[in-house]
Amino acid sequence: MKRALAEFSHEDTLRWFESKGVKGFVTEDGGRIFPKSQDAMEVVGALLRALDGVRIICNHKVTELPESDVLVLTAGGGPGMEILKGLPVKIEPPVPSLFSFNISDSPSGGRSSVTSLMGLSMEAALSIPGSGLRAEGPLLITDWGFSGPAALRLSSYAARYLAGQAYHCPLNVRWCSSDESALRAELEALKASNPHKLLKSVHPDGIASRLWEFLLERTGLGGSRTWAELGPKWMGRLVQTLLCDTYYINGKTRFRDEFVTCGGVSLSSVKLSSLECKERPGLFFAGEILDVDAVTGGFNLQAAWSTAHLVAKTIISRYDTEIQ
C-alpha cells in the first residue's frame, strides 16, 4: 500500500471530501475518522454528487468480461471473486475478516458465563495459543462473546488461521497489562492493607468491579473469602487467571456482518506501480478485489480510494490524448 498511499493519502481524502461539501472531521480511537456530523449519509451524499455524469447500472450480474483497451475491476470479496474466473491472475482464497467471536468455556460448547457481563468494555489483550497471533485494545463483552477493537483486530490478523480452524480454537485473554512480578506485588500490597476485607470488595486498578467478581468466581475463590485467606496456591491461580484466562472460540459473528474479505487478486499478479495485470495489459484492479485488508473498515475504505486513484492516474497518463 505504500506506493498507493503516497499517491493519495488520508490527508488527500479529507481534502477531497471537504471540497465536496463535507464540513469537517473528527478523529476517534484507533485513528478512525468520521465526519463531525457523525452522519454517514453526508459521506454518501458527497460520493453521489461526484458521480454526476457517470452511468451506474444496478441489478445486473456481470457474467463475462468484455474485450477492451482499459478495464478496471473493483468488485468486493466473496461472491465478487466469480468475475475473476479465466483471468491470468493468482487468487488468494477469500475468507471473512473483521468479525466478533462467539465464546464458550470449553471445546465441549455451551455459553460462557462471561456473557453475563454483557456491555462491559475494558482494555485487554487477546491471543491464540500456539499461533503467535495477538491483538490488544478495548474488548467489548456481548451476549454472544467478545467484540470491540481487540476482537476485530485479532480476527483480521488471524483471518486465515481461524478459517483453517473452522472458527473453533482456544483464546487467551490477558485482563491486565502488568507483568507477573508487578501483578503479584500489587495483589500482595492489597492483601497487606486489606486483610479483613472481602476479596470482592477491593480490586486492582484497571479491573472493573463486575469483572473482578466474575474472575474470582472463575478462579474458584468465590465472593465470601477475605484477603487474609488468599494463600500462595490461590494467589497463583488468581495471577494466572488475570494474565492468561482461557476461553474457546465457538464460531464467528452470528449475524454474517463481517466487514471485509481477506484474499483476492494476489499482489504477485499485478504491477505494484500501477496495479495493472502483469499478463493482460489494460486490466487493472482496485479496492477489496485485491488481497489487501486492514484492521478497521475505515482503513479498508482508504485502501480502496488510494488504489483507485493510482489506477486512474495511470490510465489518464497513458491514454491522455485519447481521453482529451
What's the pLDDT tens digit per position in 163-177? 999 999 999 999 999
What residues make up the domain containing 118? 99-257
Strand stretches in 59-198, DSSP E? 71-73, 91-97, 101-104, 121-128, 133-141, 145-147, 168-174
Same domain flag for 115 and 46: no
In three state form, how does the secondary structure of 256-292 look?
CCCCEEEEEECHHHEECCCCEECCCCCEEECHHHECC
Average pLDDT over every residue of 32-46: 91
- End-of-domain residue from the set 257, 276, 297: 257
The pTM assigned to this predicted structure is 0.80
Same domain flag for 273 and 252: no
**pLDDT band for position 103 (cuts 50, 70, 90):** very high
pLDDT at 321: 59
Same domain flag for 106 and 249: yes
pLDDT tens-digit series, residues 239-289: 999 999 999 999 987 655 666 888 999 999 999 999 999 999 999 999 999
C-alpha 232, offset from chain centre: 39
Up-side HSE of residue 10: CA atoms within 13 Å toward CB? Answer: 13
Same domain flag for 123 and 251: yes
Residue 300 pLDDT greater than 60, yes or no: yes
Same domain flag for 126 and 195: yes
Residue 31 pLDDT greater than 90, yes or no: no
When the pLDDT of each residue in the chain is averaged and rounded to a whole number, the result is 90
Same domain flag for 274 and 308: yes
C-alpha cell belonging to residue 85 = 474466473
CATH number at residue 37: 3.50.50.60
C-alpha cell belonging to residue 228 = 487474609
Same domain flag for 186 and 281: no
Whole-number Cα distances in Å, 232 to 109, 185, 236: 32, 13, 6
Same domain flag for 178 and 302: no
Asked if 99 and 145 count as a contact pair (C-beta separation under 8 A), the reply is: no
Structurally, the chain folds into a number of domains equal to 2
